[in-house]
Amino acid sequence: MTSASDLLDAEIAVIGAGIGGLSAALTLAGSGARVIVVEAQLHVGGKLRSLDVSGAAIDSGPTVLTMLDVFEGLFDQAGLNMSDYVTVRPSHCLARHFWPDGTQLDLFADLQDSAAAIADFAGAREARGYLDFSRRAEDAYLALKDSFMAAPAPSAASLTLSGGIGAMFKIAPFRSLDAVIGDHFRDRRLKQLFGRYATYCGGSPYQAPGPLMTIAHVERAGVYLVEGGMVQLAEGLAQACRDRGVRFLMGNRVEQIELDPAIGFQLHLDDGRAVNARAVIHNGDPSMLSIAGRGNTTVPAVCPPHERSLSAVTLSLTGIAEGVDLVRHNVFFSSDARREFSTLFERREVPDEPTLYVCAQDRDDAGLPTPGQPERLFVLANAPADGDDHVSDDRERQQWQARMLKRLAEMGLTLREVTCAVTMPSDFEALFPGSGGALYGAAPNGAMSSFRRPKVRTAVPFLYQAGGAIHPGPGLPMVALSGINAARAAKMDLGSTSMSARTAIAGGTSTPRAMTGSMR
């Protein structure tokens, strides 16, 4: 039994302090709402995390920041300046790409610099194809920015009505990303490079729809480096929330939520306290939000294993890098992209020859690490999301570390004096229960996949959700938009619904309805 002294009151409670939860909390606080954020971990950020390896803090989650205007607008609506909380600077070189045949290509924020590099790499025709593709990707982005990304619950019909048939033609929803790329490029390596954008959402370029071409425009419009590491984005958002009166309960797990029409919601915490709130926003995997009520049962939105997005095997390490020149973002491609994705999605195995992403966190446009000294690297290989079916042990982690370092050495990058922490799909499942280790929710495979993604409003009135598994999808700015959309929906619904109407919606009884399950 919870005593009165253990009760905490908020207008809106947010479960989870990932980017979605923080964005929701700041949006609500900026409008004057009383907000409490409950987080099971002792740190904010969710998937935006840092690991300590031999005293070095290594970004071990998202490493690319784009669509800065989303975050600037988030701070601005709360009456704050983002620059007072987070220091960022644009990167000129977007990424360096390596192929097994020894060729390499840099892409840049400047369109003409990239076109010139592609001309030197693959000829004038491919450079013209790149310029055409870039214009097409920008048109698709502009068609989707307001009608899809910022809309809380878009549909194919609403998208068609808002932009007409012309907009649908621009975004090519019924063609695969690979097919769209093939309209512009003949060079196998360039098709592989731009097809890789499907993995940003955990999908395959041969199954993911054409609208994912927008990622090419988003990156070219600006990739930003965060001073102090990516986690500073989460820390800055959290501090802004505190400055606007948000209260954080860190290291507290929500064990149960009760719905009582006379109160709203009551969140029961693992330390015996409870939080009363008129509305709740859940920032976590939707499969963990199970709800049982009098006379009805709401089944969690479980994503079947075969529909999950990709997971990953990652190395967070310090070591001395030799053999090739790295920039901040580097990609070492496999020799056969189609075979790689067939292995991942059809055989559900990690390829023998995986594409590897390497984030060299001590390198940027302005400087390089001291030669011969260890530097911080984050290495990622895509993997099936089978973390709830197969639990990796230390021996398997060591095998994967050796395998990935060997693959890099074969591509010319030798690492020595390595100290490493390995994260497997089962580790991601442990960190984010219910996901199976999937890092992006459901895979974006199929023309209608984006419209099937869960929306911010749930079947339970005044209960909302946010995060990478929720519309508009994965990626830091998309996750932030999900939190913003959830917050706006909550404020709109609370402002237009009286308590008597709420009682009727909830069933006209004061008998609590229990919502159980882990709410990490």
| Helix/strand/coil (H/E/C) assignment for every residue in 476-497 | HHHHHHHHHHHHHHHHHHHHHC
Residue 121 lies in a domain: yes
Q: Name the token pair of 509.
A: 């009884």
Indicate if the pLDDT at residue 513 is higher than 70: no
Assign 3-state DSSP to the chain and report helix, strand, coil percentages, each to 5: 40, 25, 35
**Contact, 61 vs 439, CB < 8 A?**
no
Q: Between these two residues, 292 and 417, which has the higher pLDDT value?
A: 417
Write the CB contacts of 235 (distance below 8 Å, at least 6 apart in sequence): 44, 45
Q: Are residues 406 and 497 in the same domain?
A: no
Q: Are 291 and 316 found together in one domain?
A: no
Q: Are residues 185 and 143 in the same domain?
A: yes
Asked if 459 contacts 298 with a C-beta cutoff of 8 angstroms, the reply is yes
Distance separating alpha carbons of residues 375 and 359, to the nearest angstrom: 11
Calpha distance 246→238 (Å, rounded): 9
Which among 480, 394, 493 is positioned nearest to 72, based on CA atoms?
480
Determine the pLDDT at residue 43. 95
| Band of residue 136 on the pLDDT scale cut at 50, 70, 90 | very high
Class of residue 302 by CB neighbours under 10 A (exposed 0-12, middle 13-18, buried 19+): middle
Structure tokens belonging to residue 134: 């870039």
Instruction: Flag whether 436 is in a domain.
Output: no
CA distance 487 to 56: 36
In a domain, 250, yes or no: yes
Q: Does some domain include residue 120?
A: yes
Residue-wise pLDDT for 258-308, tens only, equals 887 778 899 999 999 999 999 999 998 888 775 544 334 455 667 888 899
Average pLDDT over residues 5-28: 93
Residue 249 and residue 361 in one domain: no
Q: Are residues 423 and 488 in the same domain?
A: no
pLDDT at 492: 96
Where a domain ends, among 220, 243, 264? Answer: 220
Shared-domain flag, residues 405 and 290: no
* Phi, psi values for residue 347, rounded to 5°: -85, -15
Q: Is residue 463 part of a domain?
A: yes
Report how far Cα 417 is from the mean position of its chain's Cα atoms: 32
pLDDT mean across residues, the chain: 89
Residue 184's domain comprises 110-220
Read off the pLDDT of residues 204-213 as tens digits, 9 standing for 90 and up. Answer: 999 999 999 9
Q: How far apart are CA 226 and CA 231, in angstroms?
A: 8
Look at residue 510 and tell me whether its pLDDT is greater than 80.
no
The single-letter DSSP state of residue 308 is B
- pLDDT tens, residue by residue, 52-88: 999 999 999 999 999 999 999 999 999 999 999 999 9
Burial class (CB in 10 A: 0-12, 13-18, 19+), 165: exposed
- Residue 94 and residue 219 in contact, taking contact as beta carbons nearer than 8 Å: yes
Rounded to a whole number of angstroms, the CA Rg of the chain reads: 23
Look at residue 485 and tell me whether its pLDDT is greater than 70. Answer: yes
Question: pTM of whole model > 0.85?
Answer: yes
262 and 246 in a single domain? The answer is yes
Give the Cα separation of 379 and 168 in Å (integer): 37
Q: Is residue 501's pLDDT more than 70?
A: no
Can you spell out the DSSP letters for 343-394? HHHTS-S--SS--EEEEETT-BTTB-PPTTS-EEEEEEEEE-S-TTT----H
End position of a domain, from candidates 220, 251, 268? 220
The verdict on 312 and 293 lying in the same domain is no
CA dihedral 201→157→152→514, nearest 10 degrees, is -90
**Domain stop point among 220, 250, 272:** 220
Domain identity same for 116 and 38: no
Q: Are residues 261 and 281 in the same domain?
A: yes
Look at residue 240 and tell me if it is in a domain: yes
320 within domain boundaries: yes
* Burial class of residue 56, CB neighbours in 10 A (0-12, 13-18, 19+): middle
Please state the φ and ψ torsions of residue 112, each to the nearest 5 degrees: -70, -30
> 62 with 476: CB under 8 angstroms?
yes
pLDDT of residue 159: 59
Say which CATH number the domain at 289 has. Answer: 3.50.50.60
Number of domains composing the chain = 3
Q: Does residue 318 sit in the same domain as residue 379?
A: yes
- Whether residues 136 and 153 share a domain: the answer is yes
Task: Say if 443 falls within a structural domain.
Answer: no
